[in-house]
């Protein structure tokens, strides 16, 4: 969930853009409505989550109790919230590719979420499946084993709608104010209560240890949730049936800390020697301060820019202040043309020069076809078709799989009846369509190797 950049401002700007494009509001609304109606499969479809499991087959193979337990998790799964909290990578904030992440354990069976390899990541779709050692369901995957660094079975508040209120106490430093009332007695709530006795001393120990590390270039982002490490280490050890022990905290590729937790003793946090450590790895979700906390604290996002379940936990009652940057597409744009300010806007579903009569426009288009210099208004329309100002936002939406949102932006700018001319915009839309073929081949198990580099890689 953490992105390493040279400065904290760069990291916050990165996450601000991710929050704008990665999980569209339309997806959240649709998935939430279907989840509230009890249609968990429909909620997954709305959040672009493929379901690669069969509960009837689970009941036949593992019994009705196992199937009922998994079904209960699926009914409370908020797939849009899961997508919101999935690990991402720079520079575009796309899903970290090739991951298998455990969401819940049912004995030896794991409910897992998977991301496709980078070459098949078009549409940014994710999939739900079951994993039980060598036995697994769903489409072939290059890394089917659950990754211990990116596990969410100890962080149900990041995907389970019943537990979303726990986010305030587990989001890292910066989430101030009274914690929400405890959820019904469940395994994770019990683990949190057991870890509370370490909280006061752990914060002081963590601060002293991390202060010695703060001078390193990595610490510029200032985003390690060190005051939560001891508590989260206790949760991890208890989940693995350990009364105490050491947990490794991984900070980037070259930095390690070791958190030692034991009953009746003060937690200890120390810098690991070299690349070593001890014990299991603290999950990435517990290592870093939640990006939303930092964005709220810096005023870079408001409550209405957050996922509703995240906003309810982190900013209860806070007035909305964040608005998306999209301009009103119905507002005509102004162009300097022949020493005057002219307008171009949508008429009859296409972008036209509003201050030139049709006969003049046809005459100027003919002159331009013969090699003459076109009117500034016509140049602006041509540029809008080939490389509009909104092209970076269109690319961002397409990269994150929001094809409908990207097309809505294009239609708002050029109109639904526009014929795209050759240029960067048309290439971007063509590339997005072609990349979906690779994802379809991966899902069908017809291609397990990376295809030739795409044209899009060259222009970036």
Q: Which of 136, 119, 51, 128 is nearest to 86 (CA)?
A: 128
Burial class of residue 84 in the structure, from the number of CB atoms within 10 Å of its CB (0-12 exposed, 13-18 middle, 19+ buried): buried
Angle between helices 376-386 and 424-443 (to 10 degrees): 10
Q: Which of 56-60, 171-175, 362-366, 401-405 has the lowest mean pLDDT?
A: 171-175
| β-sheet with 255-261: strand ranges across | 245-251, 255-261, 268-271
Q: Which long-range contacts (CB under 8 A, 24 or more apart) does 61-64 make?
A: 62/109
Q: Which of 76, 71, 104 is nearest to 239 (CA)?
A: 104
What confidence category does residue 204 fall into, taking pLDDT thresholds of 50, 70 and 90? very low
Rounded distance between C-alpha atoms, residue 388 and residue 332, angstroms: 15
For residue 425, the Cα-to-chain-centroid distance in whole angstroms is 25
Q: Residue 318: is its pLDDT beyond 70?
A: no
Rounded mean pLDDT, 227-252 = 87
Rounded distance between C-alpha atoms, residue 278 and residue 281, angstroms: 8
pLDDT tens per residue, range 326-345: 445 556 778 888 888 888 77
Rounded mean pLDDT, 91-117 = 95
DSSP β-bridge partners for residue 101: 113
Rounded distance between C-alpha atoms, residue 85 and residue 157, angstroms: 10
Q: Take residue 77 and report the two structure tokens written for it.
A: 């799964």
User: Are residues 426 and 414 in contact, defined by beta-carbon separation less than 8 angstroms?
Assistant: no
3-state secondary structure string, the chain? CCCCCCCHHHHHHHHHHHHHHCCCHHHHHHHHHHHHCCCHHHHHHHCCEEECCCHHHHHHHHCHHHHHHHHHHHHHECHHHHHHHCCEECCCCEECCCCEEEEEEECCEEEEEECCCHHHCHHHCEEEEEEECCEECCCCCCCCCCCCCCCCCCCHHHCEHHHHHHHHHHCCCCCCCCCCCCCCCCHHHHHHHHHHHHHHHHHHHHHHHHHCCCCCHHHHHCCECHHHHHHHHHHHHHHCCCCCEEEEEEECCCEEEEEEECCCCCCEEEECCCCCCCCCECCHHHHECCHHHHHHHCCCCCHHHCCHHHHHHHCCCCCCCCCCCCCCCCCCEEEEECCEEEEEEEECCEEEECCCCHHHHHHHHHHHHCCCCCCHHHHHHHHHHHCCCCHHHHHHHHHCCCHHHHHHHHHHHHCCCCCCCCCHHHHHHHHHHHHHHHHHHHHCCCCCCCCCCCHHHHHC
User: Are residues 117 and 442 in contact, defined by beta-carbon separation less than 8 angstroms?
Assistant: yes
Q: Which of 60-74, 95-109, 150-164, 258-272 has the lowest mean pLDDT?
A: 258-272
Q: Take residue 388 and report the two structure tokens written for it.
A: 């509009």
0.85 surpassed by pTM: no
What confidence category does residue 324 fall into, taking pLDDT thresholds of 50, 70 and 90? very low
Residue 316: other Cβ atoms inside 10 A: 13
Rounded distance between C-alpha atoms, residue 285 and residue 225, angstroms: 10
Rounded distance between C-alpha atoms, residue 427 and residue 456, angstroms: 9
Q: For the chain, how long is the longest CA-to-CA vector?
A: 88
Q: Which of 228, 227, 275, 266 is nearest to 248 (CA)?
A: 275
Q: Residue 131: is its pLDDT beyond 90?
A: yes
Rounded mean pLDDT, 161-173 = 87
What confidence category does residue 360 fall into, taking pLDDT thresholds of 50, 70 and 90? confident
What confidence category does residue 451 fall into, taking pLDDT thresholds of 50, 70 and 90? low
Rounded distance between C-alpha atoms, residue 432 and residue 423, angstroms: 14
For residue 95, the Cα-to-chain-centroid distance in whole angstroms is 6
In sequence order, the 6+-apart residues with CB closer than 8 A to the CB of 29 are: none
Mean pLDDT of the chain: 80
Q: Take residue 437 and report the two structure tokens written for it.
A: 């073929």
Q: How many residues does the chain have?
A: 460
User: Are residues 157 and 170 in contact, defined by beta-carbon separation less than 8 angstroms?
Assistant: yes
User: Are residues 79 and 309 in contact, defined by beta-carbon separation less than 8 angstroms?
Assistant: no
Q: Residue 439: is its pLDDT beyond 70?
A: yes
- pLDDT of 186: 41
């Amino acid at each position: 969930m953490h992105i390493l950049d040279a400065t904290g401002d760069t990291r916050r700007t990165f996450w601000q853009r991710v929050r704008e494009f990665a999980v569209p509001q339309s997806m959240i609304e649709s998935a939430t409505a279907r989840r509230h109606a009890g249609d968990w499969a429909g909620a997954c479809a709305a959040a672009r989550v493929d379901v690669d499991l069969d509960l009837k087959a689970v009941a036949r193979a593992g019994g009705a109790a196992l199937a009922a337990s998994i079904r209960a998790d699926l009914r409370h799964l908020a797939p849009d919230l899961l997508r919101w909290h999935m690990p991402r990578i720079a520079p575009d904030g796309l899903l970290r590719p090739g991951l298998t992440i455990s969401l819940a354990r049912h004995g030896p069976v794991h409910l897992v979420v998977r991301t496709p390899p980078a070459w098949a990541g078009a549409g940014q779709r994710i999939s739900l499946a079951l994993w039980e050692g060598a036995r697994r369901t769903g489409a072939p995957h290059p890394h089917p084993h659950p990754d211990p660094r990116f596990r969410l079975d100890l962080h149900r508040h990041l995907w389970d709608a019943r537990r979303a209120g726990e986010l305030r106490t587990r989001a890292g430093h910066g989430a101030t104010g009274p914690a929400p009332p405890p959820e019904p007695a469940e395994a994770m709530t019990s683990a949190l209560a057991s870890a509370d006795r370490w909280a006061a001393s752990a914060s002081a120990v963590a601060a002293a240890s991390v202060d010695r590390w703060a001078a390193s270039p990595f610490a510029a982002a200032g985003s390690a949730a060190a005051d939560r490490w001891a508590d989260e280490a206790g949760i991890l050890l208890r989940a693995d049936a350990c009364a105490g022990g050491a947990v490794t905290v991984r900070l980037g590729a070259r930095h390690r800390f070791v958190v030692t937790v034991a009953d009746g003793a003060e937690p200890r946090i120390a810098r690991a020697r070299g690349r070593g450590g001890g014990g299991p790895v603290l999950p990435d979700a517990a290592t870093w301060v939640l990006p939303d906390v930092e964005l709220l604290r810096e005023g870079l996002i408001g409550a209405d820019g957050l996922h509703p379940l995240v906003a309810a936990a982190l900013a209860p009652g806070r007035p909305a202040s964040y608005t998306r940057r999209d301009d009103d597409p119905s507002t005509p744009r102004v162009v300097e043309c022949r020493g005057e300010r002219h307008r171009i806007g949508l008429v009859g579903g296409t972008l036209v020069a509003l201050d030139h009569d049709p006969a003049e426009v046809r005459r100027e288009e003919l002159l331009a076809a013969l090699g003459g210099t076109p009117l500034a208004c016509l140049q602006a329309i041509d540029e809008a078709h080939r490389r509009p100002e909104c092209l970076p936002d269109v690319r961002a939406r397409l990269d994150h799989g929001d094809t409908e949102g990207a097309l809505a932006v294009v239609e708002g700018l050029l109109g639904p009846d526009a014929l795209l001319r050759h240029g960067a915009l048309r290439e971007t839309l063509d590339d997005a369509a072609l990349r979906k073929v690779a994802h379809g081949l991966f899902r069908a198990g017809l291609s397990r190797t990376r295809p030739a580099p795409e044209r899009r890689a060259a222009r970036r």
